[in-house]
Amino acid sequence: MEKKLIGNKLALYPMPLTVIGAEVNGRVNWLLVAHVGIIGHDRLLISMSQSHYTNQGIKASRKLSVNLVSREMLPTADYVGSVSGAEVDKSQVFAHHWGGNGTPIIDCSPLTMECRVVDIYETEGFDNFICEIVHTYASSEVLDDRGRLDYTRLQPVLFEFPTYAYLATGEVIGRCLKLDREPSMCAKEPMSADGIVRLSKIEVYPEYLSQYRDYASEVGEISLRTEPGVLTMYAVSEQENPCRITILETYASREAYEKHIASPHFQRYKRETLHMVKSLELTDQKPLNPQNCLRNFMR
């Protein structure tokens, strides 16, 4: 892969977007911060311009809260990053309560870490707070059934510096150190001019419904995980008649579709389910808004 020299740009983006909470001159203040990093397994590095009003309170108390930003709280988080606490009282912008370490915690943030500042490292124009995590609070909605953080539920907002854009997260593309045993999600091709959006309407004989579902689920998962040109394969059945199944299929190009129907997993699905299908109707669709891209993924 040929690379082009673009200077000495800091390009480790996107970064998790956070709202830092601290008490400054007897009043709660919030600041939007994206320069947050990890030191080891129990330390955070929070880099903040020395011009920020919030820094005064952090230096005085040696503590702060790190509140991850969800999509729902993003407009308010964006606001607290656009005005200074020295000029505007931001204490009531977020509903909040006090954590066990004496820092303000945003009620609507899905995840908050209370931190103790153990060192301050100054660079030109920046205070870099090295923090020890004291308490971590998570809403039940972002925990799995074993009480662990589930980032497909948490979906923290990311910040990308070159264009000042907010990005979404949530898709799992593989399991770390297990890609040789558990299949990952392949990188997807962009939709081209000859891409295909199709509805497949299938009616299955009732006695084969359970078997058909197994085959359809298998071919859908394999296709999404392994075929770059298969962007969507989303199957639903009618509530009143589960034998009637509709599959939304999206292919990046005509070539991608032809590769899909020639693949061993699709050929097996077709061969094994042929006698199960009572009727089949394929209708190509035209998106009303081509900018509204749709892609689904497997957890």
pLDDT tens-place string over residues 143-169: 999 999 999 899 999 999 889 999 998
Q: Which two tokens stand for residue 263?
A: 């693949």
- Asked whether residue 89 is assigned to any structural domain, the reply reads yes
**CATH number, residue 257:** 3.30.70.100
Q: Cβ contacts of residue 291 below 8 Å, gap of 6+?
A: none
Q: Residue 166: name the closest of 73, 104, 91, 90 by CA.
A: 73
Confidence at residue 299, expressed as pLDDT on a 0 to 100 scale = 66
Q: Are residues 163 and 69 in the same domain?
A: yes
Q: H-helix or E-strand containing 275?
A: none
Average pLDDT, the chain: 94
Neighbours of 264 (CB within 10 A): 8
Q: Radius of gyration of the chain from Cα atoms?
A: 25
Of 29-33, 39-43, 45-49, 243-247, give the lowest mean pLDDT range: 39-43
The model's pLDDT over 120-144, given as tens digits with 9 standing for 90+, comes to: 999 999 999 999 999 999 999 999 9
- Shared domain check, 228 and 109: no
Domain count, the chain: 2
| Residue at a domain's end among 167, 182, 213 | 167
Q: Are residues 54 and 154 in the same domain?
A: yes
Cβ(117)–Cβ(64) below 8 Å = yes
The region of weakest confidence among 158-172, 212-226, 239-253 is 158-172
230 contacts: CB under 8 Å, gap ≥ 6: 223, 224, 249, 250, 251, 252, 256, 260
Q: Looking at the structure, tell me whether residues 134 and 205 fall in a common domain.
A: no
Q: Which domain holds residue 162?
A: 15-167
Give the length of the chain: 299
Query: 22-31, 168-177, 179-188 — which one is most confidently predicted on average?
Result: 22-31
Q: What is the pTM of this model?
A: 0.81
Is 131 a member of any domain? Answer: yes
Q: Which residues contact 173 (CB under 8 A, 6 or more apart)?
A: 184, 185, 297
CATH of the domain at 29: 2.30.110.10
DSSP bridge pairs for 104: 98
Q: Do 261 and 154 share a domain, yes or no?
A: no
Asked which of 126, 146, 167 is the last residue of a domain, the reply is 167
Judged on CB neighbours under 10 Å (0-12, 13-18, 19+), 251 is buried
pLDDT recorded at residue 33: 98
Mean pLDDT across 264-292: 94
Q: Which position has the higher pLDDT, 170 or 61? A: 61
Strand partners of residue 149:
143
Same-domain pairing of 126 and 233: no
Q: Is residue 116 part of a domain?
A: yes
Q: How confident is the model at residue 296 (pLDDT cuts 50, 70, 90)?
A: confident
Give the pLDDT confidence score for residue 187 in this predicted structure: 86
Tell which wins on pLDDT, 217 or 169: 217
Instruction: Check whether residue 113 and residue 32 sit in a common domain.
Output: yes
pLDDT beyond 80 at 179 = no
Binned at pLDDT 50, 70 and 90, residue 185 comes out as confident
Local structure of 27: helix, strand or coil:
strand
- Return the pLDDT at 186: 87
